Amino acid sequence: MPKIWSQTIEAHRDAVREATIDATAALVAAQGLTGVTMSQIAKDTGIGRATLYKYFPDVESILVAWHDRQITEHLRDLIQVRDRTTGAARRLEAVLAAYAKAISHRRGSHDELGDLLHRGARVSAAHRQLSDLVRELIVDAAAAGAITRDVPANELTLYCLHALGAAPGLRGPAAVGRLVRTTLAGLRADDRG
């Protein structure tokens, strides 16, 4: 197959994948998670049901792909924030603040879905990358003496990501800022009660 033709096919496949994810996102936003079927998704995407099954085996796999896409977008931004900030403590603060801000814009049932998925059996690769990014910053900040060393880094990572998960329920950037500072205060305190 000529290269130009295989590139065209590849681009077409990407477009179908993206359109499928978009259609599924719209369906879940409109009617919630339950009741979303492969037939409906195929219809809304404008492709045949048999074609859809060549891309995704079931609804859940589309939801996982959707969540991966969201997290991947966040990750790109967070890596930029990390790389332009100096100092272990300030890096951690800047990345957590950027993460909280990013997810605070996600509202509605289709976004909580992400939490459902990444906490289930199928932890997405993108979410693992997000956890790794935060954990590395926590390890560095602990080594620099900026946060507690009394709690394992993987536990503090879970704490951070969950605590900041409150952001979509808050009203306005000031409240999100207070959430970030409260979460950081939990990391910092040496007095573990």
Contacting positions for its own copies (CB under 8 A): 32-36, 58-60, 63, 93, 108-109, 112-113, 115-116, 119-121, 148, 150-152, 155-156, 158-159, 161-166, 168-170, 175, 178-179, 181-189, 191-193
Give whichever of 6 and 109 is closer to its own copies, judged by the CB atom.
109
CB of 3 to its own copies, least distance (A): 39
- 135, 154 in Cβ contact below 8 A? yes
Name the nearest CA neighbour of 78 among 115, 103, 108, 105: 103
Q: How many Å apart are CA 42 and CA 55, to the nearest integer?
A: 11
Query: What residues contact residue 126 under an 8 Å CB cut-off, 6+ apart?
Result: 67, 68, 69, 71, 72, 75
We find the least distance from the C-beta atom of residue 79 to its own copies, in angstroms, to be 23
Residue whose C-alpha is closest to residue 166's, from 186, 188, 182, 143: 182
End-to-end CA distance of the chain: 67
Q: How far is the CB of 36 from its own copies (least distance, A)?
A: 7
Of 75 and 157, nearer to its own copies (C-beta) is: 157
Specify the residue, 57 or 79, whose C-beta has the smaller distance to its own copies. Answer: 57
Compare residues 19 and 175 and give the one whose CB is closer to its own copies: 175
Smallest separation (angstroms) from its own copies to the CB of 104: 12
* Pick 47 or 158: Cβ nearer its own copies: 158
The CB-of-171 to its own copies minimum distance in angstroms stands at 9
